[in-house]
Chains A and B, each alone.
Chain A
């Protein structure tokens, strides 16, 4: 049963620290998405990749967030420096890259708390 995996599942850190979240997409999927979920804003798309190339990262605060795909099996989302308002659940999703008719499969999320 292929699944998207994310690490860590939970992260508590202090303001100003760097946070790195990792995602392993489903093998063979070539689109990867990062979403942030908060009570106030709901689910927001931060960035997405196709074939490891960033297609859109307009949802990310550029000064502190960065997203990369060093290889096809790993996507990372970094926050540096972190702020309390970054506290949220960050979901990674992957898809087979068939465009509009693809289903995105979500990972379990990283629950981040910045103190």
Chain B
């Protein structure tokens, strides 16, 4: 079964600091990887996704993530965070089983950005 680990439960940064949120997955086959963001009181929104090709993926709002297959990792980065990035971030994976649609989520990382 596939699983996703997000190492940081809560990250606190000052505005303009750089961000890197860790995500590791456990799955033996080909995977599709996603980062979703959940702003306070809101639903999940897709930040970015990786299916194939360039392992450095750019998403919305200045976020990017790098897929490192050898490390089973898909870390999320942003060079300079803003107060409006305060939210919870979820890494998710879909495995390559036939007819597989199931997103498996990590437990999430809460980001607090201090003005």
A residues adjacent to B (C-beta < 8 A): 31, 33, 42-43, 45, 48, 50, 55-56, 91, 93, 95, 99-109
Contacts and interface: CB of A to CB of B under 8 A. Distances in A.
B90 to A, nearest CB: 7
Given A106-B45, A108-B42, A108-B43, A33 B106 contact: no
B102 A48 contact: yes
B99 A55 contact: yes
B108 A42 contact: yes
Given A91-B43, A103-B46, 8 more contacts: A31-B101, A33-B103, A48-B101, A95-B101, A99-B100, A99-B101, A103-B34, A106-B43
Given A101-B32, A101-B51, A106-B45, A45 B103 contact: yes
B107 interface: yes
B68 to A, nearest CB: 20
Interface string B87-100: 00010001110011
Interface string B70-111: 000000000000000000001000111001111111111000
B51 A104 contact: no
